[in-house]
Structure 1
Amino acid sequence: MIYQPPTALPSNLLTVVEMRSALEQHDFGTVFRLARSQAGISYSKIAAECDIKPERVGALARGRGKVTTFEKIVHIADALRIPGHLIGLAPRPWEREETSAHLSSTQNGTNVRRRTVLQAATSTGLAAALPTLHRAPTPRRVTADYVSALRERTARLRRLDDLLGGGDTYRVYLGEYQSTKALLREATYAETTERLLLSLLAEQAQQAGWAAFDGGRETDAVALYKESHAAAREADDSDLLGNSLAFLAYQAIADDQRGAVEIAGRACATITPGTPTGVRALLHERMAWACAVAGQPTEAERALEAARTALDKREATERQPDWAAWGDRTELDIMTGRCWTELRRPLRAVPVLEDALARYADTHARDKALYLSWLADAYLTAGEVEQAAHVTNRALGLATGVASVRPRRRLASVLHQLKRHKGLDAVDDALARAVA
């Protein structure tokens, strides 16, 4: 039997309009109030299961305060058995367990297996439905050529991230990382090959960490970024060392903006005369973003200019690591627009975002939906409500079916602002699409 916490919300309560609206807005005070009034779940039980002080649960239910940290939102979702899609998360592990148990109890044989695989493909991501990816047999002694082949495999698998969200790719990337870690532990190799393996491990840990972050597994992401940092340092790979710090800075922004700027500065400090221009641009971009979120316009603009200078110096014959290949002028323009949006400079943000996103293919649905959220935000800051609604509507369409928590999470704040303008056709259309 699958464990059900005493605070699990009844399924019929999850269909109540007020509850659905509260979940969409992450208004957990209303969620707690409805849980008590409609389902008889006491605040003391909620406090115990959610690891929140009882007085704070009561205060939230009275409309005082908000729950904002990702970790606490996940904790509440699991304690109250709130399906992930209702609050912008990937499906929670217990959802898969419940679905599997239900299928097992209702049908048998081949049909059950077929439906289970289909359920895995739609609710837990591509990797959960796939068998283990084929891998060539490991030689007795690992050579530099073998590591090179593994790096090429990692580059091919990275292309999945162009089309799929972290909810689909996390297990694939984590499996590659764990396989390389096993090689380091069990295989034999020369000292020079060991450094190559450690460098590969750092690269794979970053890719798995990124997928974890994108799929809503932020604790896993931080752990993987730290593993990457340690492996890159041991391999004496300054490029991957800097990128691991850039990832950690990006992750830290939500909770510690000043700390994120400091970590991003350490990432840029790893740049040497031999650092590839693409890596330089990438590290400076992340520095710009940290500064923008921290409200430092001068520093953000300086970092953006450094990134632009790096790309201007790129030569066609210069070799770039595959993990930095996505950083081009279009991405830099988008980051520029994002920074000016965060700094509340819509007149600078809108033109550059409009131009860059016109060059950005819809096939990159997750990223384009995410970037459109900043364009919508910039339009709202400029007072262009209807245009913001049109952009939001388009972003919602692209985000549908993508296994990533980030677009919906970003769009939630935009939708919250749009609700103040109900009655405008464009706004009502966007809000209706969000509910659907």
Structure 2
Amino acid sequence: MPGKAPRRPRRWLRASRVQVLNLAARYAESAAWLYEDAGEVEQAGRWTDRASMWAYEIGDDEMIAWTMFRGSQQAMGRLLAGDVLGLAASALRQSGHLPAPMRAAIVQQQAQGHALDGEERACHRLLDEAHELASPVNDDGDARSGHGSFCTPAYVEVQRARCWLELRKPQRAVATFEHALPALPSVYRRDRGMALAGLASAYAGQGDPEQAVTTATEALNIARAAGSVRIINVLTSVERSLAAHRRLPTVAAFRLALAEAVAC
């Protein structure tokens, strides 16, 4: 009679589970980002929660901080200033152990929460801090620095422009977007598309519908190529802001192109 297979030691099982959950948390966080870009916000939140739960179980402080940051980003999309600030603050409780690019990403997220709350001084103080933290970051798109590697000085300045929009100062947003956009790595197509959509919104806000449409059309081309519903959602807001100019041929053409993209 063959003997029974030897039992695996509990320590071996524990080590294997840690490895599996470490990988699962990273895949879950990636899935959350993909759902968010596809416009499926609830699913994005569910996968972020799973990543956070698995990271907590294995004591991965960096991933716990990152999932708090991701939750803060998702709260920004729902315009929940309290949640944006609370989740970012929770992420920063690990700040002594986090790489500088990751801290920069979280600090600029706090700044966005303050912009949503109308707190201009606190917002720009934090953006200045994030810019300084990001100054050594030189990312060409391979994410070699891990979480937050995308948070270059140019990225921080794009977020500053978005904050100017939240603070209802479109002229300052235009100037900041125009300065920061050329420095964004070309590999980050979705970031560029989002920045262009923000710039289009700023042009519309300062009463320049022709420039808004030109920029929005460039963003729409990126959204179509990348399959990004997130960019299209911003452009839908731009289209609504141009309602008073709907008789302009360029605006009418953009509205038609956007409607076709939404229908796809």
2:229 to 398, 401, 405: 405
- For residue 176 of structure 2, the aligned residue among 352, 377, 387 is 352
Partner of 2:244: 420
Does residue 1:218 correspond to 2:7, yes or no? no
Letter in 1 for 2:38: G
CA distance in 2, matches of 1:193, 1:298: 48
Q: d(CA) in 2 for partners of 1:401 and 1:311? A: 29
Instruction: Find 1:283's aligned residue among 97, 106, 122.
Output: 106
The aligned residue for residue 263 of structure 1 is: 87
230-239 or 195-204: bigger deviation: 195-204
Contact 1:261 1:294 in 2 (8 A): no
Q: Tell me the distance in 2 between the aligned counterparts of 1:250 and 1:198.
A: 23
Q: Is the 8 A contact 1:419 1:431 kept in 2?
A: no
Map Cα deviations across residues 232-291 of structure 1 (whole Å, 9 max, x no partner). 22222222111101111121230632222211221122211x321111111112222222
Letter of the 2:231 partner, please give it: P
3-state SS, counterpart of residue 241 of structure 1: helix
The equivalent of 2:193 in structure 1 is 369
The alpha-carbon deviation at position 375 of structure 1 amounts to 0.4
Contact 1:276 1:320 (8 Å CA) reproduced:
no
Q: Does the CA contact (< 8 Å) of 2:135 and 2:152 recur in 1?
A: no
Superposed CA RMSD in Å reads: 2.7
Structure 2 unaligned residues grouped into runs of 5+: 1-9
> Offset of 1:388 from its aligned partner?
1.2
Residues 163-182 of structure 1 mapped to structure 2, 5 A cutoff:
none
Work out the number of aligned pairs and report it: 247
Q: What is residue 258 of structure 2 aligned with on the other side?
A: 434
Distance in 2 between residues matched to 1:252 and 1:435, nearest whole Å: 27
Aligned-residue offset at 1:411: 0.6
SS in 1 for 2:247: coil
Please report how far the alpha carbon of residue 207 of structure 1 lies from its aligned counterpart in structure 2 after TM superposition. Answer: 0.9
Alpha-carbon displacement from aligned partner over 1:169-198 (angstroms, at most 9, x marks no partner): xxxxxxxxxxxxxxxxxx983655644443
2:219 to 391, 395, 411: 395
**Structure ID, larger Rg:** 1
1:337 partner amino acid: A
Q: Which runs of 5+ in 1 are unaligned?
A: 1-186
TM-score by length of 1: 0.52
Q: Shift in Å at residue 206 of structure 1?
A: 0.9
For residues 232 and 124 of structure 2, the distance between their equivalents in structure 1, rounded to whole angstroms, comes to 28
Partner of 2:208: 384
Residues 377 and 221 from structure 1, CA distance in 2 versus in 1: closer, same or farther, beyond 3 angstroms?
same
Contact 1:250/1:290, CA 8 A, preserved across alignment: no
- Residue number among 233, 251, 257 corresponding to 2:74 in the alignment: 251
- 2:29 pairs with one of 206, 222, 245: 206
Question: Which amino acid in 1 is paired with 2:157?
Answer: D
d(CA) in 1 for partners of 2:93 and 2:136?
Answer: 19
After TM superposition, give the deviation of residue 219 of structure 1 in Å: 2.0
Alignment CA distance shift 1:394-1:225 (3 Å): same
For residues 44-55 of structure 1, what are the structure 2 equivalents within 5 Å?
Answer: none
SS of residue in 1 equivalent to 2:207: coil
Q: Report the AA paired with residue 372 of structure 1.
A: L
Give the TM-score normalised by structure 2: 0.82
Per residue, is there more helix in 1 or in 2? 2
In structure 2, relative to structure 1, the CA distance for the partners of 1:351 and 1:193 (3 Å cut) is farther
Distance change >3 Å, CA 323–CA 301, structure 1 → 2: same
Give the partner amino acid of 1:347. Q
Shift in alpha-carbon separation, 1:195–1:298, aligned structure 2, 3 A: farther
